[in-house]
Structure 1
Amino acid sequence: MLDPIVFLTGQEAVDLSKTLVKQVIPEKYRNIDFDTEFPNAVEMFLEKRKRGELVGLLSVFEYLKDNEVEGISKVAKYLIGNSHRSVLSLIFSNGQNKAISMESRITILEVQGLSLPQAGDKPEQFTDAQINSLAIMYALGHFCTWFGRRDKSENTSTLFDEAWFLESTPRGAHILKEKRRTGRSYNDFTFQVSQSVKDKSELEGLKDSTSFGQTFAFLEPNEVDEELAYLKIPKTDESRKMMNTMTRAQCVYKDCFGRKSRMTVDGVFPEIAKLFETQEGKNASTRKVA
């Protein structure tokens, strides 16, 4: 579903396709003939897609592998082989999967099995799995940004659960930063959900000092001082007591003007309590929302 030919059109699809392919092709396979021919082939298959044919980037590679120019054919065959043996099947497809619906009230994207490099890792030391995972991140980031700015007249929200996964890598932190800035211009609200305040990205050059927003800080007994520091609340015995005496469903809320206060989240819909049932079987316990 993250295949550019499947969810994008026009020059956007061409540009993202070029970025993804450039990311995953090793230096020894890079070829100027392929770089020249590939965008033309993508445009041709975008026209096929527009006419209703089920095609994707894998279809483009299959077409190029029969090219009479050996360099073009060699790169296309490499991409086909690499696509079938890795997470790249998420972005290189034959177009059989439906495009992600933009009309649904709620859309959930789950991505598993990525192996991402950490800050400080040198590109020349990246494994094939890390290189492929970064390509997935490029596609995911582009989709999220595109989703937020596709219709300025419509209010939208994007929620990143387990946001530490993005915040811990340079590319992921860039995606979140770009998404927040897009949201401010296009009425798209971005939620970043993490289990720990320590997950907040401190990657040099990626801290977004221009952003504004709201924070809901729930109690993590081992990170009280860190939470107070993040909320810019003086670390005193009184403030620590205020945090430590919070019960479930209570949090410290900081609004967009910087005002902070403790609040209680009331579970007005009993059905939501089902979301907290994370275990199965007779030993499972159900948390009740206050």
Structure 2
Amino acid sequence: VVSGRDKTQCQNRCNALKSYMANYHVELTRPLADQLNLFYTLLNGNSIQFERYWLQYTKDSGIAELLFGLTSNLGSNIGFYLGRVTHGTAPDTNTAIQNSRDIVLYHPMIANEGIVGAMTDSPHCLISGETGKGKSFLAKLLMFYMTFLDVQILMTDPKNENHAWFEEAVKDPEIQEDYPYFIDLMKTFHYVTLDPNDKNNYGVLDPLSFLNGAQAKDTAVALIEQVYNLKGKDDVKREILEDLDMLIERKQKGEKVGLMDLIEMLKTSKVKNIAEAGGLIGQLVKNSILQLAFSDGTSRGLNIDYKHTILSIQGLDLPEAGTKFEEMNDSDRKALAVMIPLAKFCQYFGQRDRKQKTSIIFDEAWTLTATRGGKRLVKELRRAGRSYNNQLIMITQSVKDAQSEDDRGNFGACFAFDERSEREDILKFMDLPVTKENKELLADMKKGQCLFRDFYGRVDALSVDCVFPEWIRAFKTVDKSNSAKAEREFV
């Protein structure tokens, strides 16, 4: 309340107070006539029954701006904190998070439990976008949250980077002193690094060692076709199929067999070109990454009884995403070939026990669609799904890797980071209209921001947020140089 002995003094004192508060960036307003009463009356919760003569005129556009029937809710009603809904544009993700009041919760394992109002029962999750936008960060955040649930986790790490960064975080003296519970959590991870130069790893991904019947046969053929072109070689392909049938029958009788036995059977054929094919395949396998998938039947296999397993492959040099098959060299094809039995192994992991909830985090999933019949492999990975209490978190470069004509809607939750070459495809996949404004929305997204479609079918922009500094330390993928730090300081 400002008072004075007369009107002039009141006005002078009001002006002085307004000027003083302006120094603190606080704007004061001096009401006229009934403005003060109207201000208090229009506050939420106040009755306006006695102001019957105050009228508020508006147009249909004004009513539309009130957004009747719309909501900014995103994610699930319960679950872990994932970030905040992005409103407008901001110079960086942290600013966008600070400017938003709408938090996003997400429970990764409830989509297949018959949630009322959900648009899908699929437990699977897609994370797509170009390199460096935040896909891996989000995937690790989801994985760490799931460690608190009764879920057995298998994460593939084709780039073989997580173990080193996780161990570096654990060895940090500051983290050891300030975050002992984080150290305990990290001890629950079991790391399996497949080294093709280690004889103990020979054949651990041999499809004949952990698959049976048609699955073993189809996977073996797909693996061989990736490195040896069978097109126009019907006699060789027929021999391979017949020999595989024989090996599968021998396995059913209790014998130990593997794909190295197939190579030997081809090499000893009396038909010249078949024998030559066996010799060539044998040479392709020798001293290469393919040794992981070809065994003599005596390999000990992988131990997948741990609760949290991170599976990586040493020396796996994947080609660039989008490389055409015809442009790949032998090394590229071998790397992609190994991903085929790896995907089947993940499927086997998820289908072992219907009662055990499992989650497969498959990184670099584009490598499957780059192989012959790869989309079928992706579809098979999702097949376990609801009936086996299995969830697939698929991390890939393109939303196209996740869809085909007959199974487009098989992901309950979708996180689409920007990919400049396919913004129209992203918008269509997320069921958003392809407009100039929506394309600009994608283009303006900073690292850590994406479009999120939850299992209720709601879509909005999400700024991913992790509130645990020790987790952020473990999620690093690169070390910032002094130049990069200086560049950030002078923004």
Q: Distance in 1 between matches of 2:255 and 2:245?
A: 14
Name which of 214, 224, 227 aligns with 2:413. 214
* Match of residue 270 from structure 2: 70
Superposed CA RMSD in Å reads 4.6
Identity fraction in percent = 30
Question: How big is the shift at 1:213?
Answer: 1.0
Corresponding residue number in structure 2 for 1:52: none
Deviation at 1:106, TM superposition (A): 1.8
TM-score (norm 1): 0.67
Bigger Cα Rg? 2
Alpha-carbon distance in 1 for matches of 2:266, 2:417: 54
Matched, 1:180 2:382: yes
| 1:96-245 alignment runs, 5 A limit | 98-104=300-306, 105-110=308-313, 112-113=316-317, 135-167=337-369, 171-194=373-396, 199-201=398-400, 206=405, 208-218=407-417, 227-234=426-433
Unmatched runs of 5 consecutive residues or more in structure 2:
1-203
CA displacement at 1:171 relative to structure 2: 3.0
TM-score by length of 2: 0.44
Residue number in structure 2 paired with 1:271:
470
Change over 3 Å in CA distance of 1:91–1:127 after alignment to 2? same
Aligned residues: 275
Q: Deviations over 1:79-115 (max 9, x none)?
A: 3223216543232134565412221222324483356
SS in 1 for 2:408: coil
Kindly indicate whether the alpha-carbon contact (under 8 Å) linking 1:42 and 1:57 is maintained by their aligned counterparts in 2.
no
Q: Secondary structure at the match of 2:317?
A: coil
Larger RCO (CA within 8 A; separation ≥ 6)? 2
Question: What secondary structure sits across from 1:70 in the alignment?
Answer: coil
Kept in 2: contact 1:252–1:263 (CA 8 A): yes
**Partner of residue 140, structure 2:** none
CA-CA distance at 1:173 after TM superposition: 2.8
Cα distance change of structure 1 residues 226 and 283 upon mapping to structure 2, 3 Å threshold: farther
Counterpart residue type for residue 358 of structure 2: T
In the alignment, what sits opposite 1:30? 236
Question: Which residues of structure 1 form unaligned runs of 5+?
Answer: 50-54
Richer in helix (by share): 1
